Amino acid sequence: MRNLSILPLALLLIISIPGCDKDNEIIQTSILKMKWIESFEEKTSEEIEIYRPGNHDDFPASRYRQVFVFDDNGEIEYSVLAANDAHYMAKGSWEYNEKTKILKIYNSDSEKIYEFEIIELTNQVLKITANN
């Protein structure tokens, strides 16, 4: 009988233990510091953009893919879609806020050109959403 009175208490304790909350996962920005190429074929929602490492070989032919090359010292090279299809790489800087998971990219004039929230980052995938 005594064991039965402990059961509700044990269940309440188990329910109150916080689970693995994906929002509180720490993003390891050391993984970010490489070349990332847009993989729009994998896109399953309008909000989430998917990027793969620069050594990823499975991309079908495409007229343009966004590319980011993150450097250790906060510098970045990013692809620019030119109106005449003469796409080029531009230089800028980047910063990441670990609390908000917001990644900001600035051009060489220190103007913010992109702002993303990192949803997932592993050595195989970068998933981001654009913040407007």
Q: What is the pTM of this model?
A: 0.77
B/e letters for 63-82, b = 16+ CB within 10 Å, e = fewer, are eeebbbbbeeeeebebbeee
Nearest to 124 by CA among 29, 24, 31, 23: 31
- At a CB cut-off of 8 Å and minimum separation 6, what does 76 contact? 68, 69, 70, 91, 92, 93, 94, 105
d(CA 92, CA 108): 5
- % the chain with pLDDT above 90: 56
Query: Burial of 125 by CB count in 10 Å (0-12 exposed, 13-18 middle, 19+ buried)?
Result: middle
Question: In whole angstroms, what is the distance from residue 87 CA to residue 80 CA?
Answer: 6
Mean pLDDT over each residue of the chain, to the nearest integer: 84
pLDDT tens for each residue of 80-130: 998 888 899 999 999 999 999 999 999 999 999 999 999 999 999 999 999
Sequence-ordered alpha helix ranges (H) in the chain = 2-16, 29-32
Residues in a beta bridge with 47: none
